[in-house]
Amino acid sequence: MQSNFVDYVKINCRAGHGGAGSASLHREKYIDKGGPDGGDGGRGGNITIVGNSNFWTLLEFRFKRHFRGSNGGRGGKSRSTGADGEDIILDVPIGVIARDEEGNIIGEITDDGQQLIIAKGGKGGLGNWNFRSATRQTPRYAQPGLDGDELQVTLELKILADVGLVGFPNAGKSTLLSAVSAAKPKIADYAFTTLTPNLGIVEYRNHKSFVMADIPGIIEGAAEGKGLGHRFLRHIERNSTLLFLIPADAADYGKEYNILLNELTKFNPELLDKERVLAISKSDMLDDELKAEILKQLPTDIITTFISSITGEGIMELKDILWDKLHD
């Protein structure tokens, strides 16, 4: 069964050809040698992507990957310009980056309604009206239209969220997201329950809210492609604050945190510049003495809190910490 979440596609784009200019000569009763009056050709149709906040996946591009813009119209007599080719508008989720065949960034969509031309239509040719002069009063030639861009474009989606959940498989990320939002991610007691990112709106005090993303679990070696590899690590790049989750039944808390941090560093060292919070999940099985022992194993340069998504322990305190980090 294929997932409905698609975050990486390649599409073939060919913008429209520019229309040819006209080499018309003015013809009218009682007017001898009216002169050139050929109009310009129309612009070829562009291929444009537009941010749509109602979209969250690139799934539709899995079934249609070839897009062709229409050609511009020919110029006409009486200096009439040909019609522009019809543009192709493609709705994409917010957070999409478009790259050309060499991997260079064409642009990125960060706002609802934002437009980005990924393949530009060819310019229409000039009509013979443009080539008249004192010494060349009756030019009988016009320019042909130019070709539009033709290229393969890569669309890459990076989830936009305020808080990204980082942790090993089965750390309790999906359970936490379902406890603090209306999101209903798949939850089970085996690794890699989450195979696609999930987003949830977390309600805070005084009707405020922020967005939390459940990123599929990381394992040691993920930056080199092990497990789910770095397929989903890129989504973490767009999160303002990273919430590390380590379960209370972990064998070595400090080691798990360092492995997670190391994988992020190897993938993109700039991730270390993001705000970080550490939460020990499933802490309903811990007493105060065990919590104190756990804290001794963890670094002191990161805020650490204990939570239980089942009993609600520490959830409000966690929201307070995250809110403060987001608005620091």
Q: Is 123 annotated as a binding residue?
A: no
pLDDT at 321: 95
> Got the DSSP string for 260-324?
HHHHHHHH-GGGGGSEEEEEEESGGG--HHHHHHHHHHS-SSSEEEE--TTT-TTHHHHHHHHHH
pLDDT at 217: 58
Q: Is 115 within 8 Å of 50 (Cβ atoms)?
A: yes
DSSP annotation of 180: H
Q: Is 298 within 8 Å of 324 (Cβ atoms)?
A: no
**Whole-structure pTM value:** 0.67
Q: Is 307 annotated as a binding residue?
A: no
Residues of the chain with pLDDT under 50: 1-2, 185-194, 221-229
Interatomic CA distance for residues 234 and 236, integer angstroms = 5
Q: Is 51 annotated as a binding residue?
A: no
Reference 318, options 308, 300, 305; nearest CA is: 305
Q: Is 283 annotated as a binding residue?
A: yes
Q: Is 40 within 8 Å of 77 (Cβ atoms)?
A: no
Query: What structural domains and CATH numbers belong to the chain?
Result: 1-157 (2.70.210.12), 161-326 (3.40.50.300)
CA angle, corner 243, sides to 241 and 245, nearest 5?
170
Q: Is 69 annotated as a binding residue?
A: no
Q: Is 172 annotated as a binding residue?
A: yes
pLDDT at 30: 64
Reference 129, options 118, 120, 114, 141; nearest CA is: 141
pLDDT at 283: 93
pLDDT at 39: 93
Q: Is 193 annotated as a binding residue?
A: yes
Interatomic CA distance for residues 77 and 74, integer angstroms = 10
Q: Is 265 annotated as a binding residue?
A: no
Reference 142, options 18, 17, 19, 22; nearest CA is: 22
Q: Is 70 annotated as a binding residue?
A: no
pLDDT at 229: 44
pLDDT at 27: 75
Q: Is 169 within 8 Å of 192 (Cβ atoms)?
A: yes
Q: Is 72 annotated as a binding residue?
A: no
Where do we find the tokens 């603090």?
180
Q: Is 45 annotated as a binding residue?
A: no
Interatomic CA distance for residues 150 and 46, integer angstroms = 11
pLDDT at 179: 85
Interatomic CA distance for residues 218 and 260, integer angstroms = 7
